[in-house]
Amino acid sequence: MVPSEDIDFADKKIEDLTVEELRKILSRQREPEVEKEPFSAFAEKLKDTTAKTYRTSVRSFLKHANDRDEIRGDELDEASLGYLESADREKVHRDLSRFLKTLVDKGLAGQTVHTYASCTKEWLLEYGLVTEETWGRLKRKVITVSNAPEVRGEVLSRDQVKRVINKLDQLGRSLALFLLSAGPRINEALSIKKENLFLSEEPPRAWIEREHTKGDAPGRDVFFSPEARDEIRDWLNIAPNRKKRGYEKREDGIYQFGEKTEWEHVPTFDELGRVWEIDYHTARRKWNRALEKCGLDKKKDGYMIYNIHSLRSFFRSNWTGSQDVRKVLMGQLTGLDKSYLRKPREELAEEYQKNVDNYILFRGTAEGVYAKSEMGALRGSLLSQGVDPDVIREAFQDWATSTKVARRLSGEEEVLAAEEISFDTIDWAEVTEKELKDLRERFLDLAAESRD
């Protein structure tokens, strides 16, 4: 018997019903009620990096749906639960339609529109407030190829990459050389823990854990250039003692001045455990600032042409070996590739080693490499003795300014402002023995003063 109320054909058998009668019955069947929950409960089911994307998308949708200028992080749970409990499918359909149209009208890149839309849809789908069929119709109606601009970062030339990297600080420089020589996604790189970095291997290797890869991809090895390894070593040497703006060091840790006008405890570099302690937005700001200093901050449709993702494109375009290996290293396996492109680490390392010269940008002379290594070791020794990093920096800048040594950029001598001079803007191959002796003596004087 057909379980339906107030239907005149309720006594009919299923096989005797017409298509129209079946459709009428199905339309009256109620879906099981899904318990509504705050966004934080939904986010617990996601990877950390994925949860951040969902959080940004859902917050943007709720701001639009509720006509609010801002929804702070601590307000998102209340706002999300309130919307789920009060909205019905008709309201959700209207809100989604307006939200998608606003995204498109803003001129956002197609991938950005797709990300915001898909994350919002999955969140609403979880609680039965939208169906795949309804979503498909809505998306086709609002988002079209013609009205969602697609912005792709162009590939930088070797000279352009060198110019940008020379404008980065030690953190940015080490990260950029890693990205362009290993080819990971930016969030994958920023997730790498110090314990998953193997600098003594040849070629040097890093392990990206599964929870930080894209989609359901497994964890994977990536390899990087000796040049990147040297810069990472220098970064790891100075990072624990680096002073950061807006932070205060106390006996029980480092504190940052928070939004609530009170000091909030933040983990130290060692407690954090990651190689690079910044997030994606900070990395992008560093990169864009360096582009601006080089005059390469060109835009198309409001977006940087040479964005930080261009470093991943640099890796792909300069790879001349097996394309199967490249896909494995970049985490681009899909479909059947995941099954048959399983290669041992040794084979991947061997193939990478054949291509590593394509990712070495700064080929200094042996004397230059030795000079930088020696001075780097002296600087590291001073830091370990507790000498203030600012004092070391001032001594180095005084020396560099007095000797007028500067890296040659794009074939032209560039005299840098004192605050821009660092270990990495100096062309160590051009430093004379007399100048090197002068710097050595300055560092040794600092060491003697620290012992007094």
Give the pLDDT score at 96.
Answer: 87
Domain boundaries of the chain, sorted by first residue = 39-142, 158-359, 366-451
The 8-class DSSP code of residue 193 comes to B
- What integer pLDDT is reported at residue 150 of this predicted model? 46
What type of residue sits at position 83?
Y
Instruction: Identify the residue with better confidence: 272 or 26.
Output: 272
Determine the residue type at 374: E
Asked whether the predicted pLDDT for residue 224 surpasses 90, the reply is yes
pLDDT band of 1, cuts 50, 70, 90 = very low
pLDDT of residue 147: 46
CA-based nearest residue to 294, from 396, 165, 381, 148: 165
User: In the chain, what is the greatest distance between 2 CA atoms, to the nearest angstrom?
Assistant: 104
Q: How long, in residues, is the chain?
A: 452
Cis-peptide into 344, omega within 30 deg: no
For residues 184 and 330, is the Cβ–Cβ distance under 8 A? yes
Nearest partner of 180 among 231, 139, 218, judged by Cα: 231
CA 85 to mean position of chain CA atoms: 34
Position 262 pLDDT exceeds 70: no
- Is pTM beyond 0.85 here? no
| Per-residue confidence (pLDDT) for residue 46, from 0 to 100 | 81
Topology at the third CATH level for domain 158-359: hpI Integrase; Chain A (1.10.443)
- Please say whether the beta carbons of 297 and 304 come within 8 A: yes
Q: 175: closest CA among 289, 14, 62, 312? A: 312
Write the pLDDT tens digit of every residue in 264-323. 666 667 777 899 988 888 999 999 999 999 888 888 766 778 889 999 999 999 999 888
